[in-house]
Amino acid sequence: MAFTLPDLPYSHDALAGSGMSEETLQYHHDLHHNAYVTKGNELISGTPWEGADNAALATIIPEIYGKDEHQGLFNQVSQHWNHNQFWEMMAPGGTAMPGELEKRITDAFGSVDEFKKAFAAAGAAQFGSGWAWLVMEDGKLKVTKTPNGVNPLCFGQTALLGCDVWEHSYYIDYRNKRPAYLQNFLDNLVNWENVASRMG
Ligand code: MN3
C-alpha cells in the first residue's frame, strides 16, 4: 500500500466558468498535489508508518505534528490530506448551502456574509503559504488560519472548509490578488453540501 493521488471529483475544466481555470487544476492537482504524494511515499519509507495509505493520513498527521524528526514527512502528508479535502470542498458553480449549515454559521458569525468576511480576512492575513479554515471544535464553529501544511487535525478540530492560499493555488488566475481569489472561492466554488456533511 502507498499514498495515491485521487482523481479530481470533476473534470479539469469543470471549474473554469467559476473562476478556477483548467490550467490551474493541471498544475495544482497533477503536479503540485502529485509531488506531495510522491515525496510522502519516499519519506515514509523506513518509518513506523511505512506502507500507509490515504485512509491512514488522518491518524498519522496529528501523531507527527510538531516533531522535528518528522517535519519533512509532516509537510508532505499534511499537504496530501489538505488537497484531498480541498478538491471535494469545491463543485462547479458551487452548491446551495443546506439550511442546517446556514443556521450554524449564522449562530456562530451573525450571518453568512459575516462568516465570509472572517474567512476571507483569515486567508488574506496568512503571511506566506498556508490555509484558511472553517473548523468545528467542541461543537463550535470558528475561522482559523494555518501556515504551510498545518491543518485542523493537528489541533483535534474538524475541518469543515479549507481554502489553499499558497500562491500555486491562485497565481495563474488571479496573479497577486489573493483577496479576489478568496472571494471567488466563497461565492462561486464551495460545495456547501460537502461542508455540511463534515459536521457529522
Ligand atoms: Mn496547494
Tell me the CA–centroid distance for residue 107 and ligand 1, in Å. Answer: 31
Rounded to two decimals, what is the model's pTM?
Answer: 0.98
190 in helix, strand or coil?
A: strand
The pLDDT-based confidence of 38 (bands split at 50, 70, 90) is very high
The domain made up of 99-197 has a fold known as minor pseudopilin epsh fold (3.55.40)
Which CATH number applies to 21-88: 1.10.287, 3.40.50, 3.50.50, 1.10.3470?
1.10.287
Name the band, by pLDDT with cuts 50, 70 and 90, for residue 181: very high
Distance 176 CA to ligand 1 centre (A): 15
Q: Residue 200: what pLDDT?
A: 86
Q: Where are the domains of the chain?
A: 21-88, 99-197
Distance 79 CA to ligand 1 centre (A): 7
55 Rama sector, left if φ>0, alpha if ψ -120 to 50, beta otherwise: alpha
Separation of alpha carbons 192 and 6, rounded Å: 21
CA of 168 to the centre of ligand 1 (A): 6
- The three cell numbers of residue 173 are 488566475
Q: Give 3-state DSSP helix, strand, coil % of the chain, rounded to 5.
A: 55, 10, 30
Instruction: Give distance in angstroms: CA of 157 to centre of ligand 1.
Output: 20
Q: What is the rounded CA–CA span in Å between residue 93 and residue 131?
A: 21
How long, in residues, is the chain?
A: 200
Question: What are the tens digits of pLDDT across the range 143-165?
Answer: 999 999 999 999 999 999 999 99
